[in-house]
Chains A and B, each alone.
Chain A
Amino acid sequence: MDKMIYSQHLKQKDLKKASALLIPFYYLTSLLLSTNAQAQGVVAGTDISNKAVVTYVIAGDVQQPIESTPTGNNAPGIGNGQATTFKVDRKIDLLVTGDNDANVSPGDTQSTLSFTLKNEGNDTQTFLLASNPTLSSDNFDSNNCQTSITQTIDATGAVTNLLPIITNSTITLAPDIKATVKVHCDIPLNFNGQALTTGQSSLVSLSAVAQKNNDGTTVTQTTTADNINVVDTVFADSEGSDDSNRDASHSARRSFVTIDSATPPTLAIKKSIVSVVDPKGGNKAITGAKVTYKIIVSTTGTGVINNVVITDPSPADMTYKTNTIYLGSNHLTDLSGDDNANFNASSKIATINLGSLNAGIQHEIKLSYIIN
């Protein structure tokens, strides 16, 4: 009797409340089955399950709830349904970025460029690393390159240093993990018969290719018919400097840049007497004779020598003859500030500022003194 009355007086809000009391049970169950979701997405192979439940009334009688199944279920009772499920497929995605160019000197051994490789897919992958220093559109090729992985960085920025340096060319990274990859190359002295000079560059690319999946299988894009219960593989990577879209690889370039030359310029300076003219018109080195000196500044090699300044203190027992400074055929004054030369009467020093000299340039300076 009680049951009849209770059914007849059933209110919709009561049914709602009853349903609500059961929901936490489902919710907690689903939490127990949870796996970690990554910033790069749910891990490949994770089952995504869904189950709905329907409550209803027939002729005033509350019926047992019925859960859904993928094909249709009419068996009442919690637990008699079946989740509608699909598997998350495997996204192959990776990103290689170059950090900074590196300054080098000709002849340096194992100079270093730094790159970052990030697994942007949703499965742990083993990547094969390869460097290429023989690219065109640069000045020279570095050589004897090898890669090493020095550290990994997780999604929170936490760094794990890897010691000692790994010298093999593969790295296994979980989703969201970055690795710092160093490429070490030798810098030659010459390239194509020419000595390296300052400001020349050698491009180096680093490429990474997804090689193995987490389950050890080789990475291949699924070409067979898709299957809802099988983890398919999809290439989703972008185009890098030396690879294509959606090819399970990515690459970036950086340069070694020379900051000096293989044959640095050298400077030579030579001073000699050009003439001696005595007061009587002869060429004897006697009191009152005018002695003219020649200073030759010459450079060799390649490159530039900056801030070249020649100073010539007055020789002992001689007095500078005013206005006798010549740079080549140019007559320079003794005053300071009007040209590249001056004579300081108090210090008795003649100064000629030659500035920057390209290797191969030669300058001739002349100036005269009187024997006291």
Chain B
Amino acid sequence: MKINTTWKIALGLIASLMLLNSTAIAAQKGHIKVTSKVQKMVVVNQNGKKSYKFIPAKKVLPGETVQYNTFFQNISNKPASNIMIVNPIPKHTVYLPNSIQGRGTKSQFSVDGGRHYGNKGTLKVRSRDGKYHPAKASDYTHIRWQYLGNLAPKAQKTVGFRVRLK
């Protein structure tokens, strides 16, 4: 029986989900260390000029902006390739237009919970009248970065984005 490669991978990943309770798997060490950090972005006035400052997200109110960064570091002794980072837009927040960051990456967005991804400006959403309209930044549900190239051992890179708390 010929099984599509994509399904083979998916089945493999699902199988790994089913083994979550296995201590053997849990104790296994991966090759990449992944860290998610959140900071609050505040506007500061310096000599009459506005600039931005990032402080710990300890006091965040509706309407304020927070910055998320995902750090990924190759902790193995072999280069890592085909690195993809997926980050859902956190619940109760809305993605801020043009706030995506990620040197050496190509990014795409999803408006359907991560089922499909597309470049900015190409996505459409269906409104209540049944018609499709160009997606706005506030429609984004997920961001996906593709790291272009290989990540050398010990190397660390970061991607990021900003959201406004609803």
Q: Which residues of A contact B (CB under 8 A)?
A: 6, 9-12, 14-24, 26-28, 30-31, 33-35, 37, 40-42, 46, 48-59, 62-81, 83-84, 86-89, 91, 122, 222, 226-228, 232, 234, 236
Please classify the interface of chain A as helix (H, G, I), strand (E, B), loop, or mixed, using the class held by over half of its residues. Answer: mixed
- Say whether A16 contacts B16, CB under 8 Å: no
- Say whether A55 contacts B59, CB under 8 Å: no
Which residues of chain B from 64 to 103 have any CB-CB distance to chain A below 8 Å in the complex? 66, 68, 70-73, 75-76, 78-88, 90-93
- Say whether A78 contacts B17, CB under 8 Å: yes
- Say whether A232 contacts B58, CB under 8 Å: yes
- Say whether A23 contacts B59, CB under 8 Å: no
Q: Which of A30, A55, A70, A81 contacts B37 (CB 8 A)?
A: A70
In the complex, besides A48-B93, A87-B60, 15 extra interface pairs with C-beta distance below 8 angstroms are A12-B146, A20-B117, A21-B6, A27-B113, A50-B68, A51-B36, A53-B34, A54-B85, A57-B82, A58-B81, A70-B35, A71-B35, A76-B25, A77-B19, A88-B92
Which A residue's beta carbon lies closest to that of B110? A23
Of the A-B pairs whose beta carbons lie under 8 Å apart in the complex, a sample of 10, sorted by A's number, is A15-B9, A16-B84, A17-B6, A18-B10, A42-B62, A42-B166, A52-B70, A52-B86, A56-B151, A84-B68
Range of interface residues on chain B?
35 or more
The CA of A9 and the CA of B6, in the complex, are separated in Å by 11
- Say whether B91 contacts A30, CB under 8 Å: yes
Contacts A6-B8, A20-B115, A75-B30: A52 and B80 contacting too (C-beta < 8 A)? no
- Say whether A67 contacts B80, CB under 8 Å: no
- Say whether B85 contacts A53, CB under 8 Å: yes
The CA of A265 and the CA of B110, in the complex, are separated in Å by 78
Q: Which of A16, A19, A66 contacts B30 (CB 8 A)?
A: A66
Q: Which residues of B contact A (CB under 8 A)?
A: 5-6, 8-10, 12-14, 16-17, 19-20, 25-38, 56-63, 66, 68, 70-73, 75-76, 78-88, 90-93, 110, 113-117, 141-142, 144, 146, 151, 165-166
Q: Which of A69, A77, A87 contacts B34 (CB 8 A)?
A: A69
